[in-house]
Amino acid sequence: MATLELELPRLCGQLLVTGFEGTELTPTFEKALRDGLRGGAILFRRNLPDIATASRLCEAIRSASPADLPPFIGVDQEGGRVTRMPAPFLTLPPMRELGRLNDLDLVRRAARAVATELAAVGFNLNFAPVLDVDSNPANPIIGDRSFGRDPRTVMRNAVAFLQGLQDKNVLACGKHFPGHGDTSVDSHFDLPVIHHDRARLEQIEIPPFRAASGAGIASFMTAHVVCEALDPGVPATLSRAICASLLRAEIGFEGVLFSDDLEMAAVAARYPIEESAVEAIWAGCDALLVCKSEELASRAHAALVQKAEKDSKFRDRCVEAATRCLKIRRLCPPRPITSPIALGEIVGGAPGKAILAEITAAIAARKQAMS
C-alpha cells in the first residue's frame, strides 16, 4: 500500500486540506505542499478575484504538489448565497429553487455545467451538494441552501447533483453529516444541539446521506453539531459513534470523510486545534479542513505527528485515512487548462449560459403557474 511508504510527517500531512490568505500561493504553503505536508487546498473568494488568478493559483497548487501526491483543490460552489467563483463563472440559483422544479435531468445537467467550468480552472473537488433537510425555518445557516423541506426531495435532487459533478470528474462532497437542517444556531459561532430521537433522525436527517452513499458520492463533510440521541455532548466531527459506527459500519460509506472547518467556533471555542485534529481523526474523519490560518494548520499537523509517533493504533488510523484520500485524488487529479483562450471558451461560455437560461425560464414558469 503506497501510504505505508510515507514517513510520518508526510503521512499526517496528507490528512490536512487547508487555506491561506491572498491571491498568490504563499511561500510557506508552497513549501508545505512540496514537502508533502499538505493534502491540498480549499479556496475562498478572498483567493479568487478573477478567473485568470483562480487558474494560476490552482496550477501553482498542482505543480507544487509531488507527482505521486496529487492535491485536493476544493471550493464551496453550491449556488445561491454560497458561491466562491468570480464572474463570468456559472452561478446557479439557490438549491431550494432547483428542488422546487422537480426536474432531476435539469439538476444533473446544471451540476455538469458547474463541474465543467470548475475542472477547467483546476478544481477537482466541490463541497456540494448540501444534504441537510430544511426542516427548521429558523435555521440561520442552511435555509435555501437545501433542496427542500422533505427528505425525498433532498435525496432525489442531491443524488442528481452529485452525479452531475462526478460525471465531469469533479469530486462531490455531501454535507453536513448527520444533518444540520434542524438547528437554530450557526456552527460558525456556537455549537448547535439536536434533541431528536434516533427514530426521527432515521426518518428525516439521515436518508439523504444513505442515498448519496448508495449513489457513489466521493466524500462527505461532518457537521459541528451535537446529536444527543447518537453521542450526548460530543460534536459529530469528534464522535466515533457518528463517524465510524453510524456512517461507516451502518450506512456502509466507503469514501472520504472531511471534517468541517476546525476553526469554526462550534469546535474551536471548546477544543484547542491540537485536540480537535487528533480527535477528529480518531473519530473517523479522513481529511481535516483548516480553512484560513496556516499557523493553526501547522499546529494540527504537529499534533497528528506527535500522536502517531506515540500510538501505533493512531498511526494505523492515519494510514487508513491517507489511503482513502490518495485513492480518490489519484483517480481524479486536478487538470487545469492553462491556455487563457481555451479557458475563456469554457468559463462563462455558451453551454453554461444556456443551462442558466433554461433554469431561469423554468423558475419563472413555475412561479407564473402558481400565481
Distance CA 214, CA 331 (A): 19
| Amino acid letter for position 348 | G
Distance CA 58, CA 172 (A): 18
> What pLDDT band is residue 2 in, cutting at 50, 70 and 90?
very low
**Of 167, 186, 188, 190, which is the active-site residue?**
188
Give SS3 for 329. Answer: helix
Are the C-beta atoms of 107 and 160 separated by less than 8 Å? yes
| Cα separation values, 186 from 62, 130, 235, 258, 272, Å | 33, 15, 14, 19, 20
pLDDT in tens, 182-199: 887 777 888 889 999 999
Q: Where are the domains of the chain?
A: 6-366
Percent of residues, the chain, with pLDDT higher than 70: 99
Q: Taking residues 126-137, report their average pLDDT.
A: 94
Give SS3 for 326. Answer: helix
Give SS3 for 220. Answer: strand
Rank 135-144, 152-161, 192-201 by mean pLDDT and report only the highest. 152-161
Decide if pLDDT at 136 tops 90.
no
Bond preceding residue 94 cis, omega within 30 of 0? no
Residue 176 known to be catalytic:
no
Residue 260 known to be catalytic:
yes
> With the CA atoms of 50, 56, 61 and 66 taken in that order, what torsion angle do they form, in degrees rounded to the nearest 10?
160
Gyration radius of the chain over CA positions: 20
Look-up: residue for cell 437560461? 357
pLDDT in tens, 313-352: 999 999 999 999 999 999 999 999 989 999 999 999 999 9
**What is the reported pLDDT for 190?**
82
> What pLDDT band is residue 356 in, cutting at 50, 70 and 90?
very high
> Which residues in 296-335 are b (16+ Cβ under 10 Å) and which e?
bbbbbbebbbebbeeeeebbebbbebbbbbbbbbeebbbb
**What is the reported pLDDT for 295?**
98
Q: Taking residues 3-11, report their average pLDDT.
A: 85
| Cα separation values, 5 from 2, 85, 139, 265, Å | 6, 37, 46, 36
**What is the reported pLDDT for 73?**
98
Q: Taking residues 47-55, report their average pLDDT.
A: 97
Mean pLDDT, the chain, as a whole number?
96
Assigned fold of 6-366: TIM Barrel (3.20.20)
- For the chain, what percentages of helix, strand and coil (3-state, to nearest 5) are there? 50, 10, 40
pLDDT in tens, 188-244: 888 889 999 999 999 999 999 999 999 999 999 999 999 999 999 999 999 999 999
> 194 exposed, middle or buried (CB, 10 Å; 0-12, 13-18, 19+)?
buried
Percent of residues, the chain, with pLDDT higher than 90: 92
pLDDT in tens, 56-74: 999 999 999 999 999 999 9
**What is the reported pLDDT for 1?**
38
Decide if pLDDT at 14 tops 60.
yes
| Cα separation values, 17 from 156, 184, 351, Å | 29, 28, 31
Are the C-beta atoms of 23 and 47 separated by less than 8 Å? yes
**Of 260, 261, 286, 301, which is the active-site residue?**
260
pLDDT in tens, 261-279: 999 999 999 999 999 999 9
Are the C-beta atoms of 68 and 2 separated by less than 8 Å? yes
Q: Taking residues 141-169, report their average pLDDT.
A: 97
Closest CA to 170 of 85, 283, 263: 85
**What is the reported pLDDT for 4?**
56
